[in-house]
Chains A and B, each alone.
Chain A
Amino acid sequence: MSKLTDHIRELPSRRDPPYRPLATIDDAERAEITSKLGSTENYFDLLQLRELIKEDPDNIEFRRAMVSSIASAEYAGVDAFSRKVCEWQDWDVPWSLIIAMARQTWDEVRHSQLATGVLESYGGKIGDYPDTLAGGGPPPVMQSAAGGAYAAAAESLFRDPVASLSMVNVSLEGGALTAFQETSKLGERIGDELLAHCYDYNWADEVTHTAIGDYFVKALCQDDPEQERKALRAHAFFEMSRGPRLNDEQSQELKEFFAEEIQRAHAVLGGSH
C-alpha cells in the first residue's frame, strides 16, 4: 500500500464551513427548516423542492434550499472522487481509469463552484442549510448502525472499483441526469436563466461521467462473468436503496435478481436450496 493512500485514509473530510449532515441537526434547526420549507422532509426531497418552486416561484428561499441540497452532493463528489484518484492506485486498474477519476474530480470542483455561484446569486451561502450528503463516508448515525456492519459493508463496496463505478458512476450519475435536466427545465419555466444554463451544463458532464463508468466497468469485466455479475449486483443494490421511485415491474425484476443471488450464495456455501 502506498504511503499516499495511508495518508489520505487518515485525513478527515474537511470543508469550510464544515460538513453538517442533515441526520445530525438539532431540533432548533429542524424547526427553522420547517418554518422556511414547510417540513424538513421537503428539504431532503429534490422532486418536492422543485414542486415548491413551481408553486411559488417568488419565494427565493425555496431556490436557496434546492441549490444548497445539490451543492452538498457536489462537494461530497469532490471528496469522493479525489480519494479514488489516490486509493485506486493500489488496485490492478488501468492508469487511464485513475486519470478519468482525476478528470471527474475537477468536474465536481467546477460543479461545486457553479452551485456556490448560483446560491450566492440568491443571497445564500454554503452552510445555510445542512448537508444532504457529506463527504468522507456515512454520517455517524449510519456508522453505528448494526454494530458498524452496514458502514463496513458500504466501505468495502465503495473500495472495489467495479462495484464503486457501477454504483456511483453508472447508477447514481445516471440518476442525476434526470435531476439536472428537470432542474434546468424548471429554470426555463420560471425565467431563471442562470439556473437553466448551469444545470444544462452539469447535465452534459453527467452524461460523460456515466459513460466513463460504463466504459471502465465493461473493460474491468471483459471475459469475466463473475465480475460482470458483481457489477450488476452493485447496481441493483444501489437502485434498491432508492426503491420507492421504482415502478411495480422494475421492483419485481430487482426482487427476482436478488432471489437468484441468494440461490447462488446457497450453492456456493453448499446449501440445498
Chain B
Amino acid sequence: MITVNHYLLLSAILFAIGTFGVLTRKNAIVIFMCIEVMLNSVNLTFIALSRHVGNMDGQIFVFFVMTVAAAEAAVGLALMIAFFRNKESIDTDDFNMLKW
C-alpha cells in the first residue's frame, strides 16, 4: 500500500537532486532545468498532501506554481539570450558584472 509518506520521500529525493544540480553546474540553462526539477518535487508534495488531507487547495497552489514557472521561464530565458548577446557565453562564472 502506497501511503503519503512514500510520495513525500520521493519528492524529498527529487528536491535534493535538484539542489545538487543547482549548486554544481555552471551552465545557466542546466541550472534553470534543475530549478524546474525542484519546483516539480514541490508540486508532487502539494498534490500528495492535498489528497491526504482531502482538500482541493493544494492542487490550486500547484496551478499557481505552474503559472509562476511559466513566467519565470519566459523572463529567465530572455535574460539568458540578452546575456549571451553581450558575452557570448552563459557560463555562470561570467555573470560577474554586478560584482563589486
Whether chains A and B associate is no
* A residues whose Cβ falls under 8 Å from a Cβ of B: none
* B residues whose Cβ falls under 8 Å from a Cβ of A: none
